[in-house]
Structure 1
Amino acid sequence: MQRDNIHVFKSTGAGYFTFILTILLAFSPPLFSQQPPRVESSTDTASIRIGEQIQWTVVVEVDSTAQVIFPEGQTFSPLETVEAYKTDTTRKKDRMLLQKTYALTQFDSGGYLLPTQRIEIDGKGYFTDSLFVMVATIPVDTVNQKMFDIKPMMEVETSPWGWLGWLALGLLVLLLGGFAYYWFYLRKKPLTEAEKEALLPPYERAMKELKRLEESRYLIQDEYKQYYTELTGIVRAYLEEEVHISALESTTAQLLEKLELLRDAGKLDLEESTLRQFQGILETADLVKFAKNKPELRKAEEDRTHVEEIVRKTKEALPEPTEEELLQQETYRMAMAEQQRKRKVRFALAGVGGLVLIGLIGAIAYYGFSNVKDYLIGTPSKSLLEGEWVASSYGYPPVILETPEVLYRKEIELPPEARATIKDLDAFAYDDTRAHLSIATLSTVFNKPDEEPDYEGAVEQILSGFEKNGARNIITKQEDFTTVSGVPGIRVFGRGEFKIPDSDRFLKGKYTILLFGGNGFMQQVVLSWEEEDPYAEEIVARILKTIEVKTVI
């Protein structure tokens, strides 16, 4: 864990540590015979002008097997890190010399303390020296260079297409969906000729097809095979649908045998002459289709006329349908109508789904995937940010701030050793495990009115609490903080990996610790949140703008 700019010295533990170290030195000669690490730091200058850079270099001499971790990120605050150069490594026998250089700058004039930096060697922290840096202003020629007043603020009209745009998009999708539902489901479309013909009874459909065959040009074009194929197909389809026998896939002999069985059973009142006539037509058709026989034109025309008579006689020979058969036919028609209705519904749903998909793709292209996802699904932190906030005062001395939810009092049992120093402690907190957001305030009053607050010790306790709860790889930075009303304080902030309660998983998080105080008291505000949550970032930024503290007790 890296903690820059934080030093905690406890006199009560120094003697115990020295005693333990003496025992280890006395009884462990091989382990401590190695040379200790050496850490040195230097800069190329201690005075710059605004925008110029300081080259800060740290040299570490360690054993060749040691693991060294240099500071990363903006750990030099109030100076800004411009660039961290690559580490230069030199080996000499069993020792290793590491040199790391950082380019630092500052854009405000004044005197700045370059803080100590923590170098981690085999898990142990070593600190560099601090340095005072002067940043001078650049002189401006106000005689020859004309100066102009600051331009006044201009009012800019805000775009009305915020939530109105989403409303218009939703109404458009609903309108298109309603139109698709009407067009594919409610609207009665005119039937095509093929659909009208398919709805005709079998007899009328067969007679219409025979009439169309009579008007065809098959016989004129010498296409007898096609002519007889359609002719026998018409009569076979009629028999299969009306008489309910498998006629399309039966041979001539099988079809005639089935008709004779129906006649003998009294279910089809056909004369023998009609069956023999039908047999002759089928045999002629077989000769034309399979033996390439070519009958006379007059014979072919007569066969079509005979088939028409056979269809008519077959219809007359059929007995009247029973009530059960009529019920079956009605059930069949209802099933077909239901199937057609379901087909229309599927088309309508597909149309609406397509329109919704197109609208969704357009919204993602314009607003971005994350914004659309958060708008449709929502996130816990987004709900907190957009909900009704609460402004309240907590503890004594009071800490005043606005939060998404009310902070609740936490009862803290002070250990006996703490009671000797602390007179009163007020703690309030709110913790949302779904949004991974935690807010806490602490107000402490000391027994001695002139006692100064120990900021470093307080930060150390908070970071130790993070570690006890499973946090790891904590990086710490420090800077000054001032409330809106001008009360100065200290801000310690950073990031780390925080353990999710009741699981073995970790998430990347950030934290901020604000410390205020004076003689006899101290106030703390502790915030922690998920690093990659933009709504949590907005929540924290809003809280920091509203913090106020009372510095008189």
Structure 2
Amino acid sequence: MTATLLFCFGGPFLFSQVKAEIDTASIKIGEQIKYTISVEADSLDLVDFPEDQTFSPLEMVEALKIDTVPKDGRLLLQRMYALTQFDSGAFIIPPQRIAINEKPYLTDSFRIKVADVVVDTTKQKMFDIKPLLNVDRSRAKLWWTIFWVILGLAIIGGLVYWFFLRKKPLTEEEKIAMLPPFDRAMAQLKDLENSRYLLQDEHKKYYSELTNIVRSYLEEEVHVSALESTTDQLIDRLELLKDSGSLDLQDETIKQFKRILQTADLVKFAKSKPSNLVAEQDRTAVENIVVLTKEAIPEPTEEELMLNEEYLQEQAKKKQRKKIYIAAAVLAFLLVGGTVFSLTVYGFKKVKDSVFGYPTKELLEKEWVASTYGFPPVEIETPEVMLRTEVEFPEAIRDSIQDNNTFVHGSPLGLFSTTVSSTTYKNPQTEPQFEASLGAMLASWEAAGIRNIITKQEEFSSKSGVKGLKVFGSGQLKTPDSNSSRKIAYTVLLFGGQGFIQQIVITWEDGDTYAEQIVERVLASVDVKTTA
């Protein structure tokens, strides 16, 4: 079939031709139709083809790219669509809109016949419906939870190790600071020799650093108060050490050292400016004084060496313990802070239930199952698949019942339960007995130990608008072997028509917020058929 439309635009003799065609008008379910739209237009025309699912009730499987072919000085634009349908019957492909220079044009419609796939049941072997099988509970969510907890702890541990426990690479300054006093002083003097202080005319910085190096060395190695002492005080202390035999320095060495310190004082406080040659000679002299001082210090006894080693080990242990304490404090802060934040935002119960688990919370958060139960059917979404259960009816009503399908999850005396029941009567004209059914259920609850049952009633509408009766309330369940009791809440939905009755019963522990959310979701999913 083809559809051809002629349109005038832009002038009395300017035409654009729009054509649509299909390769077949009859297919089987799931087969595809090739639907092609052709447009003849000028090279400057702007042509917009159909996009998205505009072929309903047929479904567009694929839209190929536009093919452009020159034709008689104009352009022939073609685009092919693959369409299909998965229901049998006769369908109409609606006219498709093509815009040429923003002016709309419509193609013709097409009638399509979709045929069933014939199945020969005499040759095709039929099998019984498979029974329900008990399967092991999936532990996938638990393993994922464990995985994320371990990953989180590993990240926190890695951060604590990286910032607090690991031995970080030392900078050059830190490496020099770790050296023994003599080696450190010699390294610092070598760095001072390579500095640019003298080239930049910064004599004050040069002499400040020079005297700090030698004073620090004397304070650590000779154990005199050198950094806070004046020049005269420091020289007096060195002479006292020399006289006592604790420091074997020559008088000439002490005099030379005093001269250098006095020169440095003049540079720092009197703005004196010795020549670069004198400054270099002073640095060399200080280096020689450090060497002579090292040689003048008596060798420590074995006992002093052992005490010094013990001291160093103790200092290293203290440093390591400090790192561990800091890491533990950071970890404790994160745990306490995270706990306090969670308790503030979510509350104690939700945090406790998230950490230790709670049955109804697990039901709420798991993957739910939407299914149809019994006949007449009841459509409902629940956390777990309900299992078929045989029900014994009293003799008074047993003879009037043709069939009963009851499906249960949980126990009415437990934390949460759901029951769906569909019952058909032998007499198709029998009206559903809501009051009798509700009375029998309440009587069974009282026999099970539920007391002080409160009932309320209101109208209920299913998802598709079917009207029914909603009965709800609460009761007290006495705990066996004790005087305590707990409050049970319930909701009962009753639907029915001539010849049948449908019943949905939900029970839970009153005050359980997770169970209440489950109930809301279950009630929102309920739908029933109105005829048997």
The TM-score, its normalising length taken from structure 2, stands at 0.45
Asked which structure has the greater RCO (Cα within 8 Å, sep 6+), the reply is 1
TM-score by length of 1: 0.43
